[in-house]
Structure formats: C-alpha cells, structure tokens
Amino acid sequence: MLSVGLMSGTSLDGIDAVLVEIERDSFGLQVTAIASETIPFSLDTKHRIRDAIDLKANAKDLCSLNFELGEVFSKAVNFIIKKGNKTARDISYIASHGQTIWHIGMPESGYYCSTLQLGDSAVIAQMTGIPTISNFRSADIAAGGQGAPLVPYADYLLFHDRHIHRSIHNLGGISNMTILKADGKPSDIIAFDTGPANIMIDEACQLLFNIPFDAAGSIAKSGSIDNALLNEMMSHPYFNEKPPKSTGREMFGALYTKNMIKRYSYLQPRDIIRTFTELVAESIKQAYQKFVLTTLKIDEIIFSGGGTKNDFLLALIAEKMPDMLIKISDAYGIKESDKEAISFAILGYETFHHRPSNVPSATGATKPVILGHIQEV
Ligand SMILES: Nc1ncnc2c1ncn2[C@@H]1O[C@H](COP(=O)(O)OP(=O)(O)O)[C@@H](O)[C@H]1O
Ligand SMILES: [Mg+2]
C-alpha cells in the first residue's frame, strides 16, 4: 500500500514529505521510503505561521492560514508523488500531521488541554484527489493523554529488537526519545521530550547572526560555555518533571529564548550559541540518567532529525555518554530527515484500517484510541 506522510515540526524549516510503501507480512510492517523531500515554506507563509505561534494573529488570520497550509501541503504531496513516478490513483491515503500552532498537553490554569494543527484536510483531499488523515493528536488528548509523543508507536514497529535495548531519539526543534526494551511490548515503551534540541539555537542564530541555524555547530564550536546562563537554564522546572511529559515552542520558543539572550546580552554571541548547545547535550544526558538508565541499561541510541547534522552537538552528546553506542537512523535504512514523516505514514496506516496507534504509557492516555480524522475526497 502506498501513502504519503507529511510532517512539519517546530523548527519551521519546511515540510518533510515522504512517499512510503507499507506492507504487512508475518514479520510485521515492512516500510520503504520511495521518494522524499524537505520542501521549504515560502518566507510569507513562514511569517504567517510565526505570527500565529507568537500570538500575533487573529481569528481571521488563523482561519485563512488553515486553508493556505492545506494548499501548501497539497503541493508538497503532488510534488512527491511525481518525484516517485506515481499518480494520485496509486496512493491510498495521505497522513498529514499539520503545523502545530499551539499545544496544551498538560493541565494549565484557565485553559483546556487541547491541540491545534493547521492545514485543512478537506483542501488537501480536494487538491490531491487522495483521502487525507489529519488531526492525529486530538483523540489521545480527549482520552486523557497529552497528545504527544505519538511517534513511539512507529518507532516500535521500525526499530524494536529481540536482543538490544534501544533508544530512538529525534533531534528536531524539540528533543524526544522512545525507549524500546529488548523483546519488549508496546506497553513497555517509555517516551518523552527531554527539552529543546534545535529550537533555541535556531532562534539565537536568527537574532544574533541573521542565519537560520548553526551549520554543523561551527559557531558553538568557536564559543565558550557561560556557567551562569547554563545553570539558570538547567534549573528550568521542565527538566526535573517526571515522564510522561512533552514540551514545545510554548515553553522553549522565541519568548523564553529572547528573554535569556536579553538578560545575558553582555556575552559574546558565539558564547550564547555554545551555551545553548551545551544545554541541549547536558539536558539529554541528565534525562537518560534520571529517567531511563536507573531502570534499563540502554545499548544504543539511534538519532534522527536535523540536529544530527550538528556535528558539534552530536560529539558533545557522545562525550557526555561515553558508554553508549551512538548511531544515525540512516544506518538502519531510514534517512534522518524522513523519520518523522514516515512515522506519520505508519500512524495513518493504522487509522486507515481503523486501528488504534497511541501508546498510553507514553502519552498518559487512559486507553488506546484511533488517531485522526479521515477526510474522503
Ligand atoms: N547542516 C546543519 N547543521 C546544523 N543544524 C542543522 C543543519 N541542517 C539542519 N539543521 C537543524 O535541523 C533543524 C530541522 O530539523 P527537523 O528535524 O526538520 O526539525 P523539526 O521536526 O522541528 O522541523 C533546523 O532548524 C536546524 O536547526
Ligand atoms: Mg523540519
């Protein structure tokens, strides 16, 4: 069965589109990426998303952006189908995560636990001619979960092993891990967000250097750690909260980052980038120490996401966890940039067959639920 998975995460770098073939056989799901591409947002669209996330957009803006993104996602789908030499008729469904505008996964005074991803599925279904599954997070929240992380189900199918204790760790805007016990069941999964990955580094690069990200971590490499800034950030209460837990732009986005940069504006810009990069590596190390290694000795970590291109960050992580075997998902046949979109294609596969795919031990939901809405053409 052929499908298209679409993901655009917290980094706003673009839409990851993957044309995926999924077959079920006696060994489980066989998943093959046939074509993939990260398609950048236009500057205008990116600004409108930023305004929405930064609470500068009104209801009319959001209404329009929902349909605008539907159109942008449709173009990504049509592009990837063509790249894979297929036609719309070959594709059974699209699994579209949508662009998260806001996510309230944990109780917050004055607000309902809720989630909002834009990119209307009716627009996608009409513009592509393919049934479209969207709104993957709502059902889990309605069932008492945090609506995140959802990828652990796919991580389990793709990476669980009879003999190896593994962590599947994505370094997108946010850093999140899925712990897969050797010979474990989905109900054994521990999964949570450790905190920021690229999100604060990107924001600082934008503000201080007018560049989108720290390529290969070269700025961080040239800077020094400021201990006052590092200690203040490490004392953020999120890092001590017990899993299940998830975070996003709401906590570590522009507001928090700008505030830190302003308070420590006497530092050299490169030292700020270095310290933000240290925060990522140190908070990851501590997350493993506090919440994982106390109960399970992990054999290897398989990293994915754009953060794997930050060589300096990966080297820091490796240095802080010398006993750990560190790999990139590409070594297992899954391109680091495709992993999240493939994961949503897998979640869509289950939804398409009316099967649940949340992992209650990861989201805190009271029960397994079928994720997402299917919009027919
Ligand atoms: N060459 C690179 N060097 C360092 N970081 C990079 C590089 N390429 C991409 N990145 C980082 O990866 C991020 C995108 O990662 P991605 O996995 O797409 O995150 P998300 O899921 O949040 O969109 C970019 O915003 C940037 O921070
Ligand atoms: Mg991305």
Confidence of residue 29 (pLDDT cuts 50, 70, 90): confident
Average pLDDT over residues 299-316: 97
Q: Are residues 178 and 246 in the same domain?
A: yes
**Closest by CA position to 100, among listed 143, 126, 138:** 138
Q: Give the β-pairing of 174-180 and 166-171.
A: antiparallel
**Which one-letter DSSP state was computed for residue 275?**
H
Q: Are residues 263 and 114 in the same domain?
A: no
DSSP string, 77-132: HHHHHHHTT--GGGEEEEEE--EEEEEE-S-BTTB-SEEEEES-HHHHHHHHSS-E
Q: Are residues 55 and 99 in the same domain?
A: yes
Q: Are residues 174 and 312 in the same domain?
A: yes
Q: Are residues 110 and 180 in the same domain?
A: no
CA 133 to CA 94: how far, in whole Å?
A: 6
Global pTM reads: 0.94
> Per the structure, how many domains does the chain have?
2
CB neighbours of 104 closer than 8 A, spacing ≥ 6?
111, 112, 113, 114, 115, 250
CB neighbours of 255 closer than 8 A, spacing ≥ 6?
54
Average pLDDT over residues 198-204: 97
The response to whether residue 14 sits with its C-beta less than 6 Å from ligand 1 reads: no
The response to whether residue 37 sits with its C-beta less than 6 Å from ligand 1 reads: no
Q: Which amino acid is at 327?
A: K
CA 227 to CA 259: how far, in whole Å?
A: 17
Sign of CA dihedral 219, 223, 229, 233: positive
Confidence of residue 353 (pLDDT cuts 50, 70, 90): very high
The response to whether residue 357 sits with its C-beta less than 6 Å from ligand 1 reads: no
When the pLDDT of each residue in the chain is averaged and rounded to a whole number, the result is: 96
Q: Please give the pLDDT value at position 265.
A: 97
Q: Are residues 93 and 69 in the same domain?
A: yes
Q: Taking 90 as the threshold, does the pLDDT of residue 161 lie above it?
A: yes
* CATH number of the domain to which 281 belongs: 3.30.420.40
Protein residue with least CA distance to atom 12, ligand 1: 306
Q: Are residues 212 and 232 in the same domain?
A: yes
* Domain span including residue 227: 154-332
Q: Please give the pLDDT value at position 28.
A: 81
Nearest ligand 1 atom, CA 212: 25
Pocket test for ligand 1, best of 7, 12, 13 (most atoms within 8 A of CB): 13
Q: Please give the pLDDT value at position 250.
A: 86
Distance (angstroms) between ligand 2 centre and the Cα of 37 equals 11
Give SS3 for 274: helix
CB neighbours of 212 closer than 8 A, spacing ≥ 6?
13, 202, 205, 206
Q: Please give the pLDDT value at position 262.
A: 98
Distance (angstroms) between ligand 2 centre and the Cα of 181 equals 28
Q: Please give the pLDDT value at position 157.
A: 94
Give SS3 for 2: strand
Q: Are residues 326 and 348 in the same domain?
A: no
Confidence of residue 25 (pLDDT cuts 50, 70, 90): confident
Q: Are residues 12 and 102 in the same domain?
A: yes
CA 271 to CA 111: how far, in whole Å?
A: 37
Q: Are residues 216 and 289 in the same domain?
A: yes
Q: Are residues 274 and 249 in the same domain?
A: yes
If one counts every other C-beta atom within 10 angstroms of the C-beta of residue 12, the result is 19
- Distances, alpha carbon 270 to alpha carbons 215, 221, 256, in Å: 13, 8, 18
Q: Among 105-109, 231-235, 307-311, 367-371, where is mean pLDDT lowest?
A: 105-109
- Distances, alpha carbon 242 to alpha carbons 82, 222, 343, in Å: 45, 34, 25
Q: Taking 90 as the threshold, does the pLDDT of residue 225 lie above it?
A: yes
Quick: pLDDT tens for 96-154.
999 999 999 999 999 999 999 999 999 999 999 999 999 999 999 999 999 999 999 99
Pocket test for ligand 1, best of 310, 314, 330 (most atoms within 8 A of CB): 310
Distance (angstroms) between ligand 1 centre and the Cα of 11 equals 7
Q: Which amino acid is at 318?
A: A
Q: Which amino acid is at 56?
A: K
Q: Please give the pLDDT value at position 1.
A: 97
Q: Taking 90 as the threshold, does the pLDDT of residue 275 lie above it?
A: yes
Quick: pLDDT tens for 71-101.
999 999 999 999 999 999 999 999 999 999 9
Confidence of residue 26 (pLDDT cuts 50, 70, 90): confident
Q: Please give the pLDDT value at position 27.
A: 79
Q: How much of the chain, in percent, has pLDDT values that exceed 70? A: 100
Q: Are residues 355 and 318 in the same domain?
A: no
CA 114 to CA 107: how far, in whole Å?
A: 9
CB neighbours of 10 closer than 8 A, spacing ≥ 6?
100, 172, 173, 174, 199, 248, 249, 253
Nearest ligand 1 atom, CA 10: 22
**Closest by CA position to 29, among listed 113, 122, 138, 155:** 155
Average pLDDT over residues 293-312: 96
Q: Please give the pLDDT value at position 38.
A: 97
Q: Please give the pLDDT value at position 155.
A: 97
